[in-house]
Structure 1
Amino acid sequence: MRGDVMVKVGTLLAATLLASAATSSAQTEGTTAAASAVANPAAWPALAMKRQRDPKVEARVDAMLRRMSVEDKVGQLIQVDIASITPKDLETYKLGSILNGGNSAPNNDEFAPAAEWLKLFDAFYDASVKRSDGRPVVPVIWGTDAVHGANNIVGATLFPHNIGLGAARDPELVRRIGAATAAETAATGIDWSFAPTVAVVQDDRWGRTYESYSEEPSVVASYAGAMVEGIQGRVGGDFMKPGHVISSVKHFLGDGGTGGRDQGDTRVSEATLRDVHAAGYMTALPAGALTVMPSFSSWNGAKLTGNKSLLTGVLKERWGFDGFTIGDWNAHGQVPGCTNEDCAAAINAGLDMFMYSGPKWKELYANTLREAKAGTISPVRLDDAVRRILRVKVLAGTFEAGRPSSRPTAGKFDLLGAPEHRALARAAVRESLVLLKNNGVLPIKAGANVLVAGAGADDIGQQAGGWSLTWQGTGVTNANFPNGQSIWGGLSEAVRASGGTATLSANGQFTAKPDVAIVVFGETPYAEFSGDRPTLEYSPDDKTNLELLRGLKKAGVPTVSVFLSGRPLWVNPELNASDAFVAAWLPGTEGGGVADVLVAGRDGKPKADFRGTLSFSWPKRLDQYVLNRRDAGYDPLFPFGYGLSYAKRGQVPQLDETRPANAGGDQNALFVRGRLASGVLLTTTGAVTQSRVDRLAQEDSVRLVFSGAGELTLQKAQPIDLSREANGQLSLILDYRVTQAPTGTVTLGMAGGRSATVPITGALRAAGGDWAQLAVPLRCFADGSVDMTKVTRPATIAVTGKLGIDVSGIRVASAPPGPVSCGSR
């Protein structure tokens, strides 16, 4: 069912609140809001839940609870990342859950085949149910971020990210995607998905904007319940039947209003928090969502993970949510007075299960047990949390399901990338594309000689974006997506089928002038932390794609831009240089869906017309990062709901390309392709000389020759805050090539208040003469007493002897797949 249809949420009051949100006069993000961080539950609507309490379930849960020891109960409150725990541990510690974090996988192999995931879950499950003391056996459950398909599993179907689905305005499509994702997840035995994200993003600088369906509450509300029903099944129908998994609605509450900063602070009135940011919960919870994930972020200065008025007062008491709350990645450690290993305050506020990553999870268990025995966590609160966890496990069929490999759909790996799922994903791509400009060049005519250019044309990883096999979506190749098709692959098939010819040339070079060029470019993959931006300017530190477009225009080649992005961006120069411009968002693994709309067949018609319309307003200026329809002074380039088609034409005039001098760049991109990011200074001291050298383009790297002791330092004009990135396990990445092996020691350092260094001599000595990448976790510097909130020198290479090294990039990002360490001597 298409259109901006509001899904009924069970009460007239709730529907009225959501419908009025678009014209609400409540304060928006970035403005001064009421300072209170204590919610008034009476001001929130009651929800009519489709799933009612089952007396038989309650009796079963109570019977188990009576037989459990306090040790058993505390164990249920803890979920640990598989990178930090072994199956053997669960023979002693009866924990409630395990998870695979963004970069965790069986055997530390993010490309492990599906069978290895199932095998590992069997091992954890077997250990969790092994006991002989007569107390209740409570199987462990496994949580995973299946946010746009079973995106951790090689061969899975990856659907467009939420921002693209929002452009489709099709709740039934989203329900079907949820069901397909659940089926592919269940094939690996995993029984819990951390989805959907129902953030109503108000500041598009946020690196998780693509995980939001829309800036408009009504669109998010229309999708949230549908996705939950797809993942879990419909209450009263196929709810939690085989092939469905537990859903987790996230991140509660206001994660989309943090001023474009991950783990930031949403400064808004309670009315705005309710009418705008809670929209998705109004439909997701009545649809039967079994878990809710509190946000890392704050509301008016108070961390959500410790906000009792919202977690208990609104979510559990006012709304009647009877599932359980699961923390985000060590988020409880940010609650005042807490550490990652000790946080009774979060449990007392209404958190039911900790999500923990790190080697000290036994300390978290011991501290929580001590506090439960001492009454710091009351017996009533402890029993309430455990009762909720047991209730979800009973409703999910966990106790009857048996070993993961014995479950009805487990091991059916032909479900991964199944033809019907791929067809659904391809349809979703077609529906999500938004045509912003078309000066008569689209559709591509049958029989045309087509040049396909741009780095994104034949890169499934780039078109899939973050959360695609790896956390940040980096370090992958097309071979890692055996059931996927690149945009180039789809275009090539379609053009040849129409009687034309297609040539791939990433840099846009050609010998015979083509009839038309399709240039596929855009943002490279990122996820939380590394995706945050200071402005909405596309690629402020690298104008290679703009130069490519202008070169084709100068050559008289009609050009179609297919823009890959996780948010609307300021692309006025790129729009001016294009004859047609398509916002393709992050379409996933079915690149052929792009060709279905762009390329005409022999009959002169493409398989489909453009149907997508903007779910986010498109900026006219790069500083319009808060640009929402209900805001005062709303002045977009393309408004919410805009979208051309072959049936609906429109003209785009020449656009202003003025860029403010102080626009800034990405703080995490320090030195990229031979260019220093905005506000970064490069200095050398001692016996070192520098010159320029080519890698991918002319003079895009620096050549350093150390004839003795010396340093290269990158310094920020203003201190930067890398504390979130350090907590999020990002790394300092060095792209380099050794031209002369070191004769002395080499360290990589960082400074903020104090400085810290890690040895990298061993890595450089082991490197050959080819380009390589070195990743040092930011935690190595944080553990060395660097103040990560005020980093002034983000990178220093210090040498005591001779060394020849070429450097093409220094940045903060997710490490490539594989283990990382704090250096090598």
Structure 2
Amino acid sequence: MVGCNQADNQAVAEQEVPQSKPVAMEHNIDIWPELNLPVKKDPEIERKISEYLAKMTLEQKVAQMIQPEIRDITVADMRKYGFGSYLNGGGSFPNNDKHSTPDDWINLAEAMYQASMDDSEDGIAIPTMWGTDAVHGHNNVIGATLFPHNIGLGAANNPELLEQIAAITATEVMVTGIDWVFAPTVAVVRDDRWGRTYEGYSEDPEIVREYSAAIVRGLQGAAEKDFLGDSRVISTVKHFVGDGGTENGDDQGNNLASEQELYDIHAQGYVGGLSAGSQSVMASFNSWHGEKNHGNKYLLTDVLKDKMGFDGFVVGDWNGHGQIPGCTNDNCSQTINAGLDIFMVPTDAWKPLYENTIAQVKSGEIPMSRIDDAVSRILRVKLRAGLFEKPSPANRPVSGKLELIGAAEHRAVARQAVRESLVLLKNKGNVLPLNPTQKILMAGDGADNIGKQSGGWTITWQGTGNTNEDFPGGTSIYAGFEKAVKAAGGDIELAADGNYKVKPDVAVVVFGEEPYAEGIGDIDNLEYQRGNKKDLALLKKLKAEGIPVVSVFISGRPMWVNAELNASDAFVAAWLPGSEGQGIADVLLTNEKGKVQHDFVGKLSFSWPKSANQATVNRNDEDYAPLLPYGFGLQYGDDNVLADDLDETVTKSADADQPLVLFEHAAKAPWALTMMSGTEVSLVNSSVVELGSIKLQTMDKDVQEDARTITFAGNDKAMVALRGNFVEDLRRYSENQSAITLLVRKDQEFSDKVYLEMHCDEEGCQTRVDITEKMAGFTIDEWQVLSVDLKCFTDQGLNIARTTLPFGISTSGSGIVSFADIKLAPNKASTALISCQ
């Protein structure tokens, strides 16, 4: 996660993500350091742990290792089982109400705590912990202070400010009675196509290591002073390890770094965070050389616990254990044996997981010593945090002090963070700073949009569906300008589309990426508004009218914006500034006398690309040649370095003409084979699967089980499909005139129409092409190529940038067909069996 990956809310619940085969590799434990951790084992705490272990039943111990989600358990469940912890995922609220008040949060925390301390059913009283994703402030709670996302804070390069931000976040979290925060994210992002780029502080480990320590100190308090005190929370450094270095920037993908690189680049945030005393570590969804980290004993136990000396607990990510080959969401001994201490198990899978884990301990599949070690770690953290002695959540010193949620002094720090995070990329003719006595036009759809400027992990998981009314106390970028301009006696007009009533002296255009979070945010190149350059058109319109243009770019990553830079007199990278948009006016506007209020101090902590395909340009690369380098950032009076003639040519990536293999012997990651019959959907997880009106089984075409045979009974609409947990950006294949191609063998004629389907995640985006006539012309029992131009789907409204189902074959009739070798093949559209060119 930064938190919690809500993948089970996508097409398929409990989906195992197909994995590349782990590559056997030699490890070198000497690469990893022995850390001098500041929080030492306390003999009195260790004695108490031993006493608890001696009297706990197996059931009570396993309950400590289960972390359900608030949508999937009740207070009665907590009383019966005594879970060691629980969480709310992104976009999850008490009473399932987005507008739950802080009192609602406190009431749920209190009820869960009291249930955990009630030993009438589970036979023991051990306080539970509530974990939450507070990743740029207490971002699930309406009215909380929202700080810039990590990418902006990285540009500020101010560890003292970061510690202050973390302390404020801890206070606002404690107001709602919550004990534990899933932060900081210490990913070192090496490929900016990754949808979680904005959760990283930098492409370089230097800032990340320092920031990690600062945030842990801010959240937990310094180890030697106020450690886990009344306004502090338990921190989590995450995600261990290498999530920022996956191939092609694929979320939850495969990291192929050497072990030395894994330590030197991706592990430095753990060196910083653990050295500051962080008490929990979250395992990562990604794989390292094909082995899922949730099941990697070498990393979780040998490296993290034994060599680095970490004695807190390791928590899983959102059903991450279910992605280990051989595991499901409700059954996975491998991850416990590898070193995971707490299953994060949202959905109703928690109950069978609890029962299966107990059975696996009884059978010896999981050693009792491993259970005792996990529970010892959980209890150690709870005892260090004082949870056994502190009052209940509703009665803690900070709890219920609602005036602290979004307090003015908290917002002032967030406003400072906005100012320090801004990076000035272009300033031709010193158009900036602007005098507020001018006539200023505010344009662009981000000008008066707090949700857009705050990005993902903002109230909702993806940060979508919010309006300015959802941010009481917050300020849009326009509102900040309006206040300053009116105070100075100037004129300001808001016109998102640029159609002003009075011609302005200057236009400030605020535009950029729409909010997104993990998975959904993955893209396949860095071109901004690829295929729909509406913001560029706005900039050019204003320029053509003789108006100087200042661009304020909202984004979760550096993007290829050469055309937008050319059309701008000044260009500011504002990242995702959060709820305090007036911080931008503080820097861009002088006072009424023309004096600079705040100069730019932000510097790029991510290199800025010179082409759409330059997604992996990172500081210290041998062939380092970005448009703007790491550390770049103008101040007022500096010479401008960017002319108006940057190359706007869109170049193809090196692999642009390579086919995308969707199925070859088996489904290729991130896709998985599924079946649908009527309204039922099932994952294909064995060689023969039947569901309602459909049956799927493996068959041998050239080698063992390299193809599949579908038998449609004709009782209902049925389909076999490849589905993913997240949307995938497949635009390069429509741009390259691709076709979807597969080998098919008709084994029995169809009694009704048969279709090839592609879906995206938008409403009404389930497109299909009728292949009945072509199938009818195929010879029975003969393998033949079926190919369909992708334009046939996009012409029907498929948003191929947001594909969730790249292949499906469906019918309401009966028939039998076998298939193999499914791919998207570039430059095959015009010659496809069904072409729409």
Q: Secondary structure at the match of 1:84?
A: coil
Match of 1:155 in 2: 143
User: Conserved in 2, the CA contact under 8 Å of 1:529 and 1:724?
Assistant: no
Match of 2:579 in 1: 589
User: 1:179-217 deviations in whole A, cap 9, x for unaligned?
Assistant: 000000110001110000000000000000000000011
Q: Distance in 1 between matches of 2:619 and 2:21?
A: 19
Task: Tell whether 2:766 aligns with 1:793.
Answer: no
Closer/same/farther in 2, CA of residues 191 and 722 from structure 1, 3 Å limit: farther
Match of 1:218 in 2: 206
Match of 2:9 in 1: none
The alignment-based identity, stated in percent, is 52
Match of 1:354 in 2: 343
Match of 2:38 in 1: 50
Length, aligned pairs only: 690
User: Conserved in 1, the CA contact under 8 Å of 2:758 and 2:767?
Assistant: no
Task: Tell whether 2:227 aligns with 1:239.
Answer: yes
The CA deviation at 1:42 is: 2.3
User: Conserved in 1, the CA contact under 8 Å of 2:21 and 2:291?
Assistant: no
The CA deviation at 1:405 is: 0.6
Task: Tell whether 2:413 aligns with 1:424.
Answer: yes
User: 1:39-92 deviations in whole A, cap 9, x for unaligned?
Assistant: 432221111111111111111111111110000000011100111111111121
Match of 1:636 in 2: 626
Q: Distance in 1 between matches of 2:692 and 2:147?
A: 42
Task: Tell whether 2:535 aligns with 1:549.
Answer: no
Closer/same/farther in 2, CA of residues 141 and 466 from structure 1, 3 Å limit: same
Match of 1:328 in 2: 317
The CA deviation at 1:631 is: 1.5
- Read off the aligned partner of 1:186 and give its amino acid letter: M
Q: Secondary structure at the match of 2:389?
A: helix
- Read off the aligned partner of 1:788 and give its amino acid letter: R
Q: Distance in 2 between matches of 1:751 and 1:659?
A: 39
The CA deviation at 1:513 is: 1.4
- Read off the aligned partner of 1:552 and give its amino acid letter: L
User: 1:83-128 deviations in whole A, cap 9, x for unaligned?
Assistant: 1111111121111111011222111112211111111111211211
User: 1:489-513 deviations in whole A, cap 9, x for unaligned?
Assistant: 0011112222211100000011321
Q: Distance in 2 between matches of 1:62 and 1:421?
A: 42
Closer/same/farther in 2, CA of residues 725 and 529 from structure 1, 3 Å limit: farther
Q: Distance in 1 between matches of 2:21 and 2:342?
A: 31
User: Conserved in 2, the CA contact under 8 Å of 1:752 and 1:793?
Assistant: no
User: Conserved in 2, the CA contact under 8 Å of 1:454 and 1:521?
Assistant: yes
- Read off the aligned partner of 2:568 and give its amino acid letter: S
User: 1:224-249 deviations in whole A, cap 9, x for unaligned?
Assistant: 00000000000010110001101010
Q: Structure 2 residue aligned with 1:338, among 327, 332, 335?
A: 327
Match of 2:394 in 1: 405
Q: Structure 2 residue aligned with 1:379, among 353, 359, 368?
A: 368
User: 1:159-181 deviations in whole A, cap 9, x for unaligned?
Assistant: 00000000001000000000000
Q: Distance in 2 between matches of 1:152 and 1:212?
A: 20
- Read off the aligned partner of 1:431 and give its amino acid letter: E
Q: Structure 2 residue aligned with 1:474, among 464, 482, 493?
A: 464
The CA deviation at 1:650 is: 2.4
List aligned pairs for 1:181-330, cutoff 5 A: 181-259=169-247, 260-330=249-319
User: 1:371-399 deviations in whole A, cap 9, x for unaligned?
Assistant: 11222111111100000000001111111
Q: Structure 2 residue aligned with 1:366, among 352, 355, 373?
A: 355
Q: Distance in 2 between matches of 1:109 and 1:134?
A: 30
Closer/same/farther in 2, CA of residues 664 and 474 from structure 1, 3 Å limit: farther
So what's the TM-score if we normalise by structure 2? 0.78
Q: Secondary structure at the match of 1:787?
A: strand
Match of 1:707 in 2: none
User: 1:451-507 deviations in whole A, cap 9, x for unaligned?
Assistant: 000000000000000000000000000000001000000011112222211100000
List aligned pairs for 1:133-148, cutoff 5 A: 135-148=123-136
User: Conserved in 1, the CA contact under 8 Å of 2:148 and 2:577?
Assistant: yes
Q: Structure 2 residue aligned with 1:532, among 522, 529, 533?
A: 522
- Read off the aligned partner of 2:722 and give its amino acid letter: D
Q: Distance in 2 between matches of 1:123 and 1:210?
A: 35
Match of 2:650 in 1: 659
The CA deviation at 1:357 is: 1.3
Q: Distance in 2 between matches of 1:179 and 1:558?
A: 41
Q: Distance in 1 between matches of 2:58 and 2:679?
A: 49
Match of 2:90 in 1: 102
Closer/same/farther in 2, CA of residues 724 and 362 from structure 1, 3 Å limit: farther
User: Conserved in 1, the CA contact under 8 Å of 2:216 and 2:273?
Assistant: yes
Q: Distance in 2 between matches of 1:229 and 1:174?
A: 10
Q: Secondary structure at the match of 2:475?
A: coil
The CA deviation at 1:811 is: 7.8
Task: Tell whether 2:30 aligns with 1:65.
Answer: no
Q: Secondary structure at the match of 2:281?
A: strand
User: Conserved in 1, the CA contact under 8 Å of 2:434 and 2:590?
Assistant: yes
- Read off the aligned partner of 1:77 and give its amino acid letter: M
The CA deviation at 1:796 is: 2.8
Q: Distance in 1 between matches of 2:122 and 2:562?
A: 69
Q: Distance in 2 between matches of 1:286 and 1:380?
A: 27
Closer/same/farther in 2, CA of residues 134 and 659 from structure 1, 3 Å limit: closer
So what's the TM-score if we normalise by structure 1? 0.79
The CA deviation at 1:632 is: 2.1
- Read off the aligned partner of 2:176 and give its amino acid letter: T
- Read off the aligned partner of 1:793 and give its amino acid letter: M
Task: Tell whether 2:79 aligns with 1:111.
Answer: no
Q: Secondary structure at the match of 2:347?
A: coil
The CA deviation at 1:274 is: 0.6
Match of 2:734 in 1: none
Match of 1:614 in 2: 604
Task: Tell whether 2:15 aligns with 1:80.
Answer: no
Q: Secondary structure at the match of 2:348?
A: coil
Match of 1:818 in 2: none
- Read off the aligned partner of 1:351 and give its amino acid letter: L
- Read off the aligned partner of 1:589 and give its amino acid letter: S
Q: Distance in 2 between matches of 1:108 and 1:722?
A: 36
Q: Secondary structure at the match of 2:721?
A: coil
Q: Distance in 1 between matches of 2:167 and 2:347?
A: 32
Q: Distance in 1 between matches of 2:444 and 2:596?
A: 23
Q: Secondary structure at the match of 1:461?
A: helix
Closer/same/farther in 2, CA of residues 413 and 811 from structure 1, 3 Å limit: farther
Match of 2:383 in 1: 394
Q: Secondary structure at the match of 1:81?
A: coil
Q: Distance in 2 between matches of 1:509 and 1:572?
A: 24
User: Conserved in 2, the CA contact under 8 Å of 1:447 and 1:495?
Assistant: yes
Between 1:40-49 and 1:470-479, the stretch displaced more is: 40-49
Which sections of structure 1, spanning at least 5 residues, go unmatched?
A: 1-31, 666-677, 680-715, 728-745, 759-782, 800-805, 816-825
User: Conserved in 2, the CA contact under 8 Å of 1:64 and 1:136?
Assistant: no
- Read off the aligned partner of 2:633 and give its amino acid letter: G
Q: Distance in 2 between matches of 1:211 and 1:243?
A: 24
Q: Distance in 2 between matches of 1:288 and 1:173?
A: 19
Q: Secondary structure at the match of 1:608?
A: coil
User: Conserved in 1, the CA contact under 8 Å of 2:69 and 2:346?
Assistant: yes
List aligned pairs for 1:455-466, cutoff 5 A: 455-466=445-456
User: Conserved in 2, the CA contact under 8 Å of 1:175 and 1:227?
Assistant: yes
